Amino acid sequence: MRVLIAEDKVRMAMLLQRSLQREGYVVAVVHDGESALTAIDRHRPDAIVMDVMMPKLDGFQVMERLRNLNVRIPTILLTAKHTSHDIVTGLDLGADDYLTKPFDLAVLFARLRAIVRRPLASVRGPLCVGDLLLHFETHEMERAGQRSALTPLEFTLLHGLMQRVGRVVRKEELIKIGWGNDEAFQEATLYVFIRVLRGKMHALGSPDILHTVRGVGYVLRPVAEV
């Protein structure tokens, strides 16, 4: 499997490269956003591990360019910024996951395995819950005739919730659906992803149908039941 590392700090990039190579990945390294776009266009890696703060183009700008080109490659953003605003920005632009620095290499490996093993949905009719449609062939959700694109992780989480419509899905179950058995996973990360997913859903229509059951998990209820 081919992984592109986009990291401007040379020592960090070398550490990531050696570590991923030991795990059996074929690794390429670039040190700025423009070089990342060039490498992606030429080699189309299977996954990207990309720092946010890079010269020429930052990670957010690279993600925006990829989205505009309709290029979908599983991507983990590395960021020193711990604010939810920056994290949500990256996810909204199409990143599949994120890690805040410093991080454990074992956690990176687990997250990387998780994003690359998410299967692409087979082409079939949309899944329907109330006024919400989930389109498998395009990875989009639809409400009131409007559509919003989903990242593979958002698609996986929403699909899991829609399959369990009307019942509370515990946080532990959602974490397993999205990230597998990642023992180092933090619940705060799930909260950020649910926040992004809820925001996209609400932008398409109201009322809210994704509800938090405090201390337990989340439940998706059709409009008729709200």
How far is 195 from 212, CA to CA, in rounded Å?
A: 10
* Per-residue pLDDT at 182: 66
Give the tokens for residue 77: 């953003």
* Per-residue pLDDT at 223: 64
Is 27 in the same domain as 83?
Answer: yes
Is 99 in the same domain as 133?
Answer: no
Q: How many CB atoms lie within 10 A of CB 4?
A: 23
**CATH number of the domain bearing residue 170:** 1.10.10.10
- 122 is a domain residue: no
Domain range enclosing 50: 2-117
Half-sphere exposure of residue 99: CA atoms within 13 angstroms, side-chain side: 21
Ordered per-residue pLDDT tens for the chain, 226 residues: 899 999 999 999 999 999 999 988 999 999 999 999 999 988 889 899 999 999 999 999 999 999 888 788 889 999 887 677 888 888 888 888 999 888 889 889 988 888 876 554 444 568 888 889 999 878 889 998 899 988 888 888 999 999 898 899 999 999 888 887 766 677 888 898 999 999 998 899 878 899 999 999 999 988 644 4
61, 87, 117 - which closes a domain: 117
Q: How many CB atoms lie within 10 A of CB 70?
A: 7
Report how many domains make up the chain.
2
Is 148 in the same domain as 73?
Answer: no
- 195 is a domain residue: yes
**CATH number of the domain bearing residue 53:** 3.40.50.2300
Is 141 in the same domain as 208?
Answer: yes
Global pTM exceeds 0.75: no
Q: Indicate the burial class of 145 (C-beta count within 10 angstroms; 0-12, 13-18, 19 or more).
A: exposed
